[in-house]
Amino acid sequence: MKVILPSAGKGTRLRPFSLYRSKSLLRIYSKPIIEHLFDKMKNWCDFEEIIIIISDDEFGYNTYEFLRNIYKNTSYRIQKEPKGLADAVYMGIKDIDSDILIVLPDALYDGKFDFKEDFLAVKEVEEPKRFGIVVLENEYIIDLEEKPDNPKTNLAIAGIYYIKDSKKLKEAIEKLYEKNIKTKNEYQLTDALKILIQSDYKLKALRIDYWQDCGKIETYLETMEYILKENGTKILSNIINSKIIEPVFIGENCIIENSIIGPFVDISEGVIIKNSSIRNSIIMENSKVLNVNIENSIIGSNCEISNVKGKIILGDFGKICGADRI
């Protein structure tokens, strides 16, 4: 089995934090999201190679190099233009002939995976208009639609696809090219899969326990909560006259003084926090936080904030200084 990781997107919904790094390399609990995903994948199945689809730029190559450092048998393909998920997958499978597992790498998943037959991972969602949606009959997929205006179900495709016959999928994507079939002006994997099932190819719906897209501000924070619940509190720096409300993660070489931290706070290395209260927030490396009361916030790296309260979203190297007192 080969794993295809489509990772050529620009991460625009996670700006400003994706302006200086790939969204897959954003960290929680000291590890990039893509490493958390890889740790999960190792428990699902055995695979012989990871093929990551990247953009032809520094972000793409950095993501590839990081993944290759943790899994040696990783190669890459380049998607030069953003033509859609089907096009990205085609870049990965056009030269191979084996069963494939396609995993969208900007999310985390939990569930029991059975590779006896082809499947799409699915999960019920509250806003089905935002996703590819499936219609089932006896747990097999009989129809799919990408981000429909009037969804027939609330059962969304959850970003994991197992296809035993990659040649069949290649042929379906090639039909998209031949007939210029696009949805939302892109070649959609959902449309290729619809061609597959219309040719009597069987795709089972595999319901999974957890699926969290990390691709926007709100879900990045929700992913942080999930990882902290799963891993528990870890503190790698000295805490001075401060209260910790678990779960939290505090990285190395931090200074935490006269503060209340938690619950659900992820602090990277080299952060200075004094005289502050912080809840449900992410603070990236080497930032300085003084006299604040914040929650539901994300502070980028090398930032400085002081004398503020509420919700703060601040990109790398940003600075916010409020009044002398809050």
| Mean pLDDT per 10-residue segment, the chain (326 residues) | 86 69 83 88 87 88 91 91 90 90 88 89 88 90 90 91 94 94 89 92 91 81 91 94 97 96 96 97 96 95 94 92 63
Query: In the beta sheet, which residues pair with residue 250?
Result: 235, 267
Asked whether 201 and 168 are in contact (CB, 8 A), the reply is yes
Q: Tell me which CATH code domain 2-216 carries.
A: 3.90.550.10
Asked whether 37 and 108 are in contact (CB, 8 A), the reply is yes
Q: Which CATH architecture has domain 232-321?
A: 3 Solenoid (2.160)
pLDDT recorded at residue 215? 72
Asked whether 103 and 37 are in contact (CB, 8 A), the reply is yes
Instruction: Give the Cα separation of 156 and 33 in Å (integer).
Output: 22
pTM value surpassing 0.85: yes
Q: Which residue has the tokens 């200084």?
A: 321
> Which helix (H) or strand (E) covers residue 53, if one does?
strand 49-54
Q: Which pLDDT tens digit goes with each residue over 229-238?
A: 989 999 999 8
Q: How far is CA 97 from CA 4, 22, 57, 163, in A?
A: 13, 29, 28, 11
pLDDT recorded at residue 212? 81
Asked whether 211 and 124 are in contact (CB, 8 A), the reply is no
Nearest CA to 1 among 103, 88, 82? 103
Read off φ and ψ for residue 191, nearest 5 degrees.
-70, -35
Q: How far is CA 194 from CA 133, 199, 313, in A?
A: 11, 9, 40
Asked whether 260 and 274 are in contact (CB, 8 A), the reply is no
What tokens were used for 36?
A: 């958390």
Instruction: Give the Cα separation of 227 and 11 in Å (integer).
Output: 21
pLDDT recorded at residue 18? 66
3-state secondary structure of 74: strand
Q: Which residues contact 176 (CB under 8 A, 6 or more apart)?
A: 86, 182, 187, 188, 191, 192, 195
- Around Cβ 167, how many Cβ atoms within 10 Å? 12
Asked whether 22 and 6 are in contact (CB, 8 A), the reply is no
Query: In the beta sheet, which residues pair with residue 137?
Result: 140
Asked whether 303 and 316 are in contact (CB, 8 A), the reply is yes
Q: Which residue has the tokens 């990109």?
A: 315
| DSSP code of residue 186 | B
**Where would I find the beta strands (DSSP E) of 62-154?**
74-78, 100-103, 107-110, 119-124, 132-137, 140-146
Q: How far is CA 309 from CA 156, 199, 283, 290, in A?
A: 37, 58, 15, 11
Domain residue ranges in the chain: 2-216, 232-321
